[in-house]
Structure 1
């Protein structure tokens, strides 16, 4: 286990669903602003929560979710290597 932050989801469909909810809520808050006023900004925290803080965090999580189980990092004698598992 590494000590770096992990933004990945358990499955790819779950991660994509989180992205759809997050980006949808952010877009909805801006698009609904003329119709309902500042009340639409209540969707911003929902979007940021679904994206775990920021769109870039979600993107990093997408890459981690896609590579999970396919890439391995091993370190020995002060040298680290990234190898594929052959999946």
Structure 2
């Protein structure tokens, strides 16, 4: 899996989430107040979330785990290890 959806930091990713979800929710919630013009917030939300809320969630997981997990394959067996100076094997 590539880090196509990850951000440079969890803070940056969280800001994108707040802006994106806020714009999506606002675009619907503001219809009774400002009318259909509030739907102009939809593209803002989608751009902030880089296309979809699921993609944003995947990116959050990638951003949090970046650099912590390392996959290695030896003798036909692959393992996933935590690289925080911990030798504990998480999964195979």
Paired with 1:79 and 1:73, the residues of 2 have a C-alpha distance of 11
**Aligned counterparts of 1:15 and 1:5: Cα–Cα separation in 2:** 13
**Which of 5, 8, 30 is matched with 2:6 structurally?**
8
1:76 positional shift:
4.0
1:38 — aligned with what?
36
Q: Which runs of 4+ in 1 moved over 6 A?
A: none
Q: TM-score, normalised by structure 2?
A: 0.83
Shift of 1:42: 0.6
Gaps of at least 5 residues in structure 2 are 86-92
Note the aligned Cα RMSD (angstroms): 1.6
Name the residue aligned to 2:51.
Answer: 53
SS in 2 for 1:52: coil
How far is the alpha carbon of 1:79 from its aligned partner? 3.5
User: Size of the alignment, in residue pairs?
Assistant: 85
Larger Cα-atom Rg: 2
Q: 2:3–2:62: 8 Å Cα contact kept in structure 1?
A: no
Once residues 38 and 22 of structure 2 are traced to their aligned partners in structure 1, the CA distance between those partners, rounded to angstroms, is 12
TM-score by length of 1: 0.87
2:35 and 2:69 map into 1 onto residues whose CA distance is 47
